[in-house]
């Protein structure tokens, strides 16, 4: 809605050219498609030229008549989208295509052993419902149901992706799993222990086993803290290590996320977005958790940096057997790293199952719409038809 208002403002002066600077990078895939459809319709109806600036190669390939690829202030390649995708000439263009989830070779999630019937899930949410009381408005329901009878299990070494549009209940489910929200009904179990009714103090020791990586790497780190201070903060908070042991732990953690040890003395402002997210992951790993909750961990990053962070997460899972709950609106990202997928819409489970089944044979119409709306899907099908 807000983006539509901005488009209306841009059209007020009857311009001949609209410059759209990352117009949909913060939007869900279905909303993104509607906004881009709206822009294209205006271009066709009014004869307006449209210049889209984007880091999303899928958007460029689907919507542009001509694509220009920039690197470090230099134009490295240009041409029709299909030409760029089928026969990229520049190494940087080839790297962008390889990194884009919609076009690149699909990453394989970390290989895990099959789940046995005797295995205990790390995390279980059973019949979870969450209702918020809203200010009373005459003639309207004063309750908002954020979640309705949601069920899922997360096993060691596996990635469960929770996908859906804004308002689907993804973040609410994550907050309930982390113990930051209490469900209105239903039960939460951590490694077989019922933690639904635990208070903050009772739940705190269990937080060593379940950690969060936030969406925005620019806001996740205290700007006053050096990277050393940020990474060891959980260890200090729980009183686990001191002195030289802290220094050794910080070195091991920063190396684990493939950053130089010399960076430990730097401040967050000296790092790129991808480097900050690596630090956030290192901090989340400090307590050696069994489960990481990943809240849109790459949505604020460029496509090539996204690929690097996703590769890192797959590598860490393969090495340690850690489990992930990945919340994302980007189905192309989910398809590359998830073992299981849960699709939510308005707080209800629409579809659930192995990632390969959900993406290759989606049963629900809503899931099919989400997959069809993935940026680059249209161009990918066109390229495949020509090959």
DSSP, collapsed to helix, strand or coil, labels residue 327 as: strand
Q: What is the pLDDT of residue 13?
A: 82
Please state, in angstroms and rounded to a whole number, the distance separating the CA atoms of residues 327 and 343.
Answer: 10
Q: What is the pLDDT of residue 369?
A: 87
- Tally Cβ neighbours within 10 Å of residue 320: 16
Give 237-295 pLDDT, tens digit per residue: 999 988 899 999 999 999 999 999 999 999 999 999 899 999 999 999 999 999 999 99
Q: Fold for 123-373, please state it.
A: Rossmann fold (3.40.50)
- The answer to whether the beta carbons of residues 182 and 199 sit under 8 Å apart is no
Intervals of the chain under pLDDT 70? 1, 26, 102-118, 136-141, 377-387
Q: What is the pLDDT of residue 379?
A: 58
Query: What are the strands of the beta sheet with 210-213, ordered from one edge?
Result: 210-213, 291-295, 323-328, 159-163, 340-345, 348-354
pTM of the model as a whole: 0.85
Domain 2-99: what homologous superfamily?
P-loop containing nucleotide triphosphate hydrolases (3.40.50.300)
Give 132-181 pLDDT, tens digit per residue: 987 766 666 678 899 999 999 999 999 999 998 888 999 999 999 999 99
Q: What is the pLDDT of residue 102?
A: 67
Q: What is the pLDDT of residue 252?
A: 96
Q: What is the pLDDT of residue 314?
A: 93
Residues carrying CATH 3.40.50.300, the chain: 2-99, 123-373
């Amino acid at each position: 809605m807000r983006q539509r208002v901005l488009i209306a403002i841009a059209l007020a002066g009857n311009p001949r050219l609209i410059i759209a600077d990352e117009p949909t990078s913060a939007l869900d895939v279905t909303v993104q498609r509607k906004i881009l459809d709206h822009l294209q319709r205006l271009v066709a109806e009014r004869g307006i030229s449209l210049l889209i600036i984007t880091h999303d190669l899928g958007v460029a390939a689907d919507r542009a008549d001509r694509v220009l690829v920039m690197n470090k202030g230099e134009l490295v390649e240009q041409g029709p989208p299909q030409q760029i995708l089928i026969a990229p000439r520049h190494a940087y263009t080839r790297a962008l295509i390889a990194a884009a989830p919609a076009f690149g070779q699909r990453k394989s999630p970390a290989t895990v052993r099959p789940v046995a019937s005797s295995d205990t899930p790390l995390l279980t949410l059973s019949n979870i419902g969450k209702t918020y009381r809203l200010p009373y408005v005459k003639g309207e329901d004063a309750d908002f149901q954020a979640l309705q009878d949601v069920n899922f299990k997360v096993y060691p070494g596996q990635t469960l992706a929770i996908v859906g549009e804004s308002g689907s209940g993804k973040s609410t489910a994550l907050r309930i799993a982390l113990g930051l929200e209490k469900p209105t009904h239903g039960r939460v179990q951590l490694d077989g222990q019922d933690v639904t009714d635990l208070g903050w103090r009772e739940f705190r020791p269990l937080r060593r086993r379940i950690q969060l990586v936030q969406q925005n790497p620019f806001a996740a780190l205290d700007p006053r803290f050096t990277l050393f201070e940020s990474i060891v903060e959980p260890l200090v908070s729980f009183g686990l290590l001191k002195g030289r042991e802290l220094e050794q732990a910080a070195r091991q953690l920063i190396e684990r996320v493939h950053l130089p040890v010399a960076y430990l003395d730097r401040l967050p402002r000296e790092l790129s977005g991808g480097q900050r997210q690596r630090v956030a992951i290192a901090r989340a790993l400090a307590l050696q958790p069994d489960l990481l909750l990943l809240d849109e961990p790459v949505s604020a990053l460029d496509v090539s940096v996204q690929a690097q962070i996703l590769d890192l997460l797959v590598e860490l899972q393969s090495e340690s057997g850690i489990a992930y709950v990945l919340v994302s609106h980007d189905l192309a990202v989910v398809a590359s790293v998830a073992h299981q997928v849960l699709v939510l819409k308005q707080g209800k489970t629409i579809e659930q199952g192995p990632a390969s089944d959900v993406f290759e044979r989606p049963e629900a119409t809503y899931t099919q719409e989400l997959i069809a709306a993935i940026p680059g899907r249209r161009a990918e099908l066109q390229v495949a038809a020509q090959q």
